[in-house]
């Protein structure tokens, strides 16, 4: 036990599919046994996690009867009660069964679309029964290889119809549930629709009930596309749309690696934790700190719990490191924003004849400003020294 040991107050959560990942990949079968969901919940509690998330079929096998479902769910609820673990988020598996091989909500086949909406309504009922207040939509196979198969505009229309419909389902049932859409550029499809968090944010603005829909960005998914995850998350936060987050690690340009949080991109992880915790003076993210990652295929069960503890420990160490960074007087000096009594009001007020006149008569020397250094080498070096533990 030290100050980096996680507790429920840290609100760390894991998917059943993450710590339950048996090490299967496209080139080989499992290297670890499949674990019972109740066992995973008990182990998560032992490790100091607060929450567990699930796809419908992580708990209830595809095609189970109503009686089997109720039996499994009541056993799971007992384990949640015993351990104090909560279910903050739930989602639907719309990608494993062959019926979804060409997508779910965006499929050309009305039977597939109907089946997907129906499965999601059942999974929403399950999530709500377990206490979930966030429902994630990851369009696993909503994409293409043979792009001529459908007009991508139809895919947008169908996806919009499904989300609009399901929002109404939630309202109709009086559920306390918000939706969080998760973008991914590719894998398992060659191209997945709505490839980035930015695509999702615009799509949300076109929904009928857009106030109940936000995003669930994932580190790996933006990094796969070579994008800045921190910028994507910041845009979502600024729009009031960061409803949930998938934390993990990923090298740019690779397949979706879903690595232990902070293990491959420490500088980005540092900046992300700093943003989420609001250290730089911004409003913090208040939702679950959720890890969507899994242990290396080389690991046995003990390695899985090393992985889970590692994710949480790294997050907490980064909370401490980023706070120290932002409390450093030299850093404060370097990031101080210059003020200008004449121009600041002009640049924050909306358009007016006075503002135009003020801009026309401004006193700015472009050469002097262009010649002055900004000290960012020093700033970034200090950040690296905090990361390396030298400061
Ligand atoms: C992936 C995704 C998934 C989703 C999960 C919850 O790349 O496999 O990140 O893990 O997050 O299906 O919607
Ligand atoms: Mn994810
Ligand atoms: Mn992923």
CB 90, CB 125: distance < 8 Å: no
Q: Is 58 a catalytic residue?
A: yes
Q: Domain end: 291, 320, 349, which one?
A: 320
Atom of ligand 1 nearest to the CA of 218: 9
Ligand 1 centroid–CA 221 distance in Å is 10
Ligand 3 centroid–CA 255 distance in Å is 9
> Is there a domain that residue 176 lies in?
yes
Q: What is the CATH number of the domain that holds 132?
A: 3.20.20.150
> Is there a domain that residue 38 lies in?
yes
Atom of ligand 1 nearest to the CA of 53: 6
Ligand 2 centroid–CA 292 distance in Å is 5
- Considering the domain architecture, whether residues 354 and 256 belong to the same structural domain is answered as no
pLDDT at 261: 98
Q: How do 178-182 and 213-215 pair as beta strands? A: parallel
- Considering the domain architecture, whether residues 141 and 200 belong to the same structural domain is answered as yes
- Considering the domain architecture, whether residues 250 and 212 belong to the same structural domain is answered as yes
- Considering the domain architecture, whether residues 344 and 255 belong to the same structural domain is answered as no
Radius of gyration of the chain (CA): 23
pLDDT at 46: 98
- Considering the domain architecture, whether residues 61 and 83 belong to the same structural domain is answered as yes
pLDDT at 139: 86
- Considering the domain architecture, whether residues 220 and 140 belong to the same structural domain is answered as yes
Q: Domain end: 288, 320, 352, which one?
A: 320
3-state secondary structure 303-360: HHHHHHHHHHHHHHHHHHHHHHHHHCHHHHHHHCCCCCCCHHHHHHCCCCHHHHHHHH
Atom of ligand 1 nearest to the CA of 292: 10
Pocket test for ligand 1, best of 218, 243, 254, 294 (most atoms within 8 A of CB): 218
Q: Considering the candidates 2, 10, 58, 223, report the single residue annotated as catalytic.
A: 58
Residue closest via CA to ligand 1's atom 2 equals 138
Atom of ligand 1 nearest to the CA of 93: 12
| Ligand 1 and 184: CB distance under 6 A | yes
Residue closest via CA to ligand 1's atom 7 equals 256
Pocket test for ligand 1, best of 26, 95, 138 (most atoms within 8 A of CB): 138
Domain count, the chain: 2
pLDDT at 227: 97
pLDDT at 98: 98
Sequence-distant contacts of 323-332: CB under 8 A, at least 24 apart = 323/277, 323/279, 324/386, 324/391, 325/270, 325/274, 325/279, 325/382, 325/383, 325/386, 326/274, 326/279, 326/280, 328/382, 328/386, 328/391, 330/378, 330/382, 331/379, 331/382, 331/383
- Considering the domain architecture, whether residues 353 and 269 belong to the same structural domain is answered as no
- Considering the domain architecture, whether residues 195 and 337 belong to the same structural domain is answered as no
Atom of ligand 1 nearest to the CA of 137: 13
What's the rounded Cα separation, in Å, for the pair 370 and 58?
Answer: 57
- Considering the domain architecture, whether residues 244 and 294 belong to the same structural domain is answered as yes
| Ligand 1 and 256: CB distance under 6 A | yes
Domain of 349? Answer: 329-387
> Is there a domain that residue 3 lies in?
no
> Is there a domain that residue 1 lies in?
no
C-alpha dist (Å) from residue 206 to 14, 164, 243, 261, 285: 31, 10, 18, 33, 24
- Given a cut of 70, the residues of the chain with pLDDT beneath it are none
Ligand 1 centroid–CA 214 distance in Å is 16
Ligand 1 centroid–CA 264 distance in Å is 19
Residue closest via CA to ligand 1's atom 8 equals 140
Residue closest via CA to ligand 1's atom 13 equals 138
> Is there a domain that residue 298 lies in?
yes
| Ligand 1 and 246: CB distance under 6 A | yes
pLDDT at 1: 86
Q: Considering the candidates 55, 221, 223, 244, report the single residue annotated as catalytic.
A: 55
Q: Is 55 a catalytic residue?
A: yes
- Considering the domain architecture, whether residues 249 and 347 belong to the same structural domain is answered as no
Atom of ligand 1 nearest to the CA of 136: 13
Q: Domain end: 320, 337, 358, which one?
A: 320
What's the rounded Cα separation, in Å, for the pair 117 and 80?
Answer: 28
| Ligand 1 and 91: CB distance under 6 A | yes
Residue closest via CA to ligand 1's atom 3 equals 138
Ligand 2 centroid–CA 41 distance in Å is 19
pLDDT at 10: 98
- Considering the domain architecture, whether residues 78 and 30 belong to the same structural domain is answered as yes
| Ligand 1 and 13: CB distance under 6 A | no
């Amino acid at each position: 036990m030290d100050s980096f040991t996680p507790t429920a107050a840290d609100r760390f959560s894991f998917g059943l599919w993450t710590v339950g990942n048996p090490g299967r990949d496209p080139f080989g079968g499992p290297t670890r046994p499949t674990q019972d969901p109740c066992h995973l919940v008990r182990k998560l509690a032992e490790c100091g996690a607060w929450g567990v998330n699930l796809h419908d079929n992580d708990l209830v096998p595809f095609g189970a009867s109503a009686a089997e479902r109720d039996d499994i769910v009541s056993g799971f609820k007992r384990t949640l009660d015993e351990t104090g673990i909560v279910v903050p988020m739930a989602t639907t598996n719309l990608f494993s069964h062959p019926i979804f091989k060409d997508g779910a909500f965006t499929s050309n086949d009305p039977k597939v679309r109907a089946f997907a909406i129906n499965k999601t309504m059942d999974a929403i009922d399950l999530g709500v029964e377990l206490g979930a207040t966030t429902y994630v939509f990851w369009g696993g196979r909503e994409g293409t290889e043979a792009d001529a198969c459908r007009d991508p505009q139809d895919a947008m229309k169908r996806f919009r119809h499904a989300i609009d419909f399901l929002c109404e389902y939630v309202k109709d049932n009086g559920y306390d549930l918000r939706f969080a859409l998760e973008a991914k550029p590719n894998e398992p499809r060659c191209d997945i629709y709505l490839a980035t968090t930015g695509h999702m944010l615009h799509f949300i603005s076109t929904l009928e009930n857009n106030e109940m829909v936000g995003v669930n960005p994932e580190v790996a998914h933006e990094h796969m596309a070579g994008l800045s995850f921190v910028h994507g998350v910041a845009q979502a936060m600024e729009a009031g749309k960061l409803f949930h987050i998938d934390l993990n690690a990923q090298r740019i340009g690779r397949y979706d690696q879903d690595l232990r949080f902070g293990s491959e991109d420490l500088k980005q992880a540092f900046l992300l934790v700093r943003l989420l915790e609001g250290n730089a003076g911004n409003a913090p993210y208040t939702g679950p700190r959720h890890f969507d990652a899994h242990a290396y295929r080389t690991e046995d069960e003990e390695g899985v719990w090393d992985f889970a503890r590692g994710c949480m420990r790294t997050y907490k160490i980064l909370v401490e490191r980023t706070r120290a960074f932002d409390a450093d007087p030299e850093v404060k000096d370097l990031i101080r924003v210059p003020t200008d009594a004449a121009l600041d009001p002009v640049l924050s007020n909306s358009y007016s004849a006075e503002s135009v006149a003020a801009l026309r008569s401004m006193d700015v020397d472009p050469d002097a400003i262009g010649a002055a250094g900004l000290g960012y080498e020093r700033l970034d070096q200090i950040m690296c020294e905090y990361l390396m533990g030298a400061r």
